[in-house]
Amino acid sequence: MVKKQFQTESKKLLDMMVHSIYTNKEIFLRELISNASDAIDKLYFRSLTDDSITLTHDDYEIRITPDKEAGTLTISDNGCGMTEEELESNLGTIAKSGSFDFKNDPEKGDQEQIDIIGQFGVGFYSAFMVADDITVETRAYGADQGYRWESSGADCYTIEPCEKESAGTVITLHLKDDTEEEKYSDYLDTYRLRSLVKKYSDYIRYPIKMMVEHQKLKEGSKDEYETVTEDETLNSMVPLWKKNPSEVGEVEYAMFYREKFGDYEEPLQVIRQKAEGTSNYVALLFIPSHPPMDYYSREYEKGLQLYSSGVLIMDKCKDLIPDHFSFVKGIVDSSDLSLNISREMLQQDHQLKIIAKALEKKIAGELSKMLRSDREKYERFFQSFGSQLKWGVYSDYGMHKDLLEDLLLFHSSHENKYVTLEEYTSRMKEDQKKIYYASGDTLEKIALLPQVESVISHGYEVLYLTEDVDEFALQMMGTYDDKEFSNVCTDKLDLGSEEEKEALKTENENAKDLFTFMKESIGPALHDVRFSNTLQNHAACLSSEGALSVNMEKVLNQMPGMDMPVKAELVLEINKDHPIAEKLKTLFETDKDKLAKFSKLLYANARLVSGMPLDNPAEVSDLVCDLMLEEA
């Protein structure tokens, strides 16, 4: 028999478990029962497509056996079991998927808040909080040989072959000795065990059984009692979603969510929907209060659990939930679906499509309700998942924009808080035709853009876009409430009276040659040069022409796989009322060399103001030095 060491990280965690970092030790039972139920689910699931598995739904059970004399508690199941390799990899490495980063020192921190078990998926090891020795005897379904895993804590474990009659897993905990603070032997008390099962595992779909002693009237007698031992099913097995909502408290929903979806925090919102008629189903959905670790990565898989009359038929049914609501977790239980339906058939299933449509509407409705009735909560939601809604507006050629546009929030120049598009348009000035926006890395930087200052000075509000997706979403929308979106950093910005615009046009025509010369000095990166009357006190800024803005250029070029960089058509705008304008005009007559240098510097400055990198920093630096020396 070989003794194996746990991996270092595992050791650390085990150590913490043993030294009871988690105040709520009783949850170990919930964890072991859930594992047993998962193992049965796996086998049951396989049996739907594998005719050689002859077990039916009623054959499965989880059994709890306390043995007071031996001081052991046994939890067994007839689920899928584990092979030797699985034993090794599942129980030899802890938290292999989760990142092992304890933000707070659990020994010191707020213990209630740190749910290590939920956070890292280390349920099995929680048993070390109550046991000083654990034996796992298991046999994988279809295998001939069983294996025994044993460990008494932090140091090491052993695995060896063992006799096991049938497939499944038997976990035996040798409980710790009672101490003053903790009476571990309580976990051998049938009354306590029954109430723990009721509390945590009532809706487990397989019977959790235990032999329980009862006092029973002796047969034929009216007052004589005898003690009989009978098998009792401890859980009601009625799934939470089948219970009458008025009977289910928030705490119960939250507990269900945390356990089922492995979140360490409570859900932000519970959504329940029951449909009867053309479509029959119950949906119990949850909006998490924070994005899962992998949410904004490719690894994240959306989907709802799909049940057919209380029996799980698919763990992550993607077709039930659209991408823009991919953060929603939950279950759908429908009596219209056949148990033996295959994945391929499900995709075609008409019922499923009807349900998915109805759920989408329901979720959008609930979010909209939250936005109106509890703004603070909605903003918390939006901080977590707002980007996803914006991607939703952009994706599928804008197909979902009507559904989503009123759920979007943006920062704006109005106040330092989120605004909806409806709020923006309701405040628009009478003469304001467009919805103005500007994008940049941070709110502070955007607020400092010359064009933004200018639009604000006309009394208009500007939306501040800081996320990559923002501008793409707005462009896809095109308009909101028939009002066009307008990037203040594009040449479309035409503020001022008709006369002012006319005057500007003339000035620009008169300076044509100057601009051509400047453009040539600066080089091909620049599309055009022109005067502007919207720059307040600033000398120059960059804007863009055409559909691609400066910021979109930045975003697109950062995308992986962009080998051919895209280029926005940049326009150098010069404040026609700034002394610099006069200076340029004079230099064009007197000193073209200097004008060439100044043009480059002006362009470099404008790039910096727009938050763009310089094409050639060394050259710019030399130019500045030349200028300084001249002054001296």
- Give the C-alpha distances (Å, rounded to integers) separating 326 from 148, 242, 318, 430: 41, 24, 9, 39
Neighbours of 34 (CB within 10 A): 19
Closer Cβ to ligand ADP, 42 or 585, answer by number: 42
Closer Cβ to ligand ADP, 130 or 493, answer by number: 130
How many residues touch ligand ADP under the rule CB under 6 A: the total is: 17
For the bound state, the minimum distance from the C-beta of residue 32 to ligand ADP, rounded and expressed in Å, comes to: 7
620 is written with which tokens?
A: 């710019």
SS (H, E, C) 214-251: EEEECCCCCCCEEEEEEEEECCCCCCHHHCCHHHCCHH
Residue 570 is a binding residue for ligand ADP (CB under 6 A): no
φ/ψ of residue 113, rounded to 5? -85, -20
Pairwise CA distance, residues 627 & 604, whole Å = 14
For the bound state, the minimum distance from the C-beta of residue 258 to ligand ADP, rounded and expressed in Å, comes to: 12
What contacts 609, CB < 8 A, 6 or more positions away?
448, 449, 450, 538, 541, 542
Residue with tokens 């991408």: 323
For the bound state, the minimum distance from the C-beta of residue 122 to ligand ADP, rounded and expressed in Å, comes to: 5
Pairwise CA distance, residues 496 & 257, whole Å = 56
For the bound state, the minimum distance from the C-beta of residue 106 to ligand ADP, rounded and expressed in Å, comes to: 17
Binding mask 18-37 for ligand ADP (x = CB under 6 A): -------------x---xx-
For the bound state, the minimum distance from the C-beta of residue 449 to ligand ADP, rounded and expressed in Å, comes to: 49
Closer Cβ to ligand ADP, 205 or 576, answer by number: 205
Q: Specify whether the CB–CB gap between 606 and 538 falls below 8 A.
A: no
For the bound state, the minimum distance from the C-beta of residue 39 to ligand ADP, rounded and expressed in Å, comes to: 3
Closer Cβ to ligand ADP, 170 or 584, answer by number: 170
**HSE (side-chain half, CA atoms, 13 Å) at 599:** 27
Residue 90 is a binding residue for ligand ADP (CB under 6 A): yes
Binding mask 370-399 for ligand ADP (x = CB under 6 A): ------------------------------
Residue 39 is a binding residue for ligand ADP (CB under 6 A): yes
Closer Cβ to ligand ADP, 17 or 346, answer by number: 17
For the bound state, the minimum distance from the C-beta of residue 292 to ligand ADP, rounded and expressed in Å, comes to: 14
Residue-by-residue DSSP string for 111-171: TTT--HHHHHT-GGGGGGGTEEEEEEEEE-TT-S-EEEEEE-SSSEEEEEEE--SSSEEEE
Q: Specify whether the CB–CB gap between 25 and 44 falls below 8 A.
A: no
- Please pick, from the candidates 61, 77, 333, 360, the single residue that binds ligand ADP as defined by CB under 6 A: 77
416 is written with which tokens?
A: 């330092």
Closer Cβ to ligand ADP, 62 or 304, answer by number: 62
For the bound state, the minimum distance from the C-beta of residue 77 to ligand ADP, rounded and expressed in Å, comes to: 5
Residue 149 is a binding residue for ligand ADP (CB under 6 A): no
Query: 374, 270, 280, 273: which is closest to 329 by C-alpha?
Result: 270
Residue 201 is a binding residue for ligand ADP (CB under 6 A): no
Pairwise CA distance, residues 543 & 111, whole Å = 54
Binding mask 108-127 for ligand ADP (x = CB under 6 A): -------------xxxxx--
Query: In the complex, which residues of this chain contact ligand ADP (CB under 6 A)?
Result: 31, 35-36, 39, 77, 79-82, 90-91, 121-125, 169
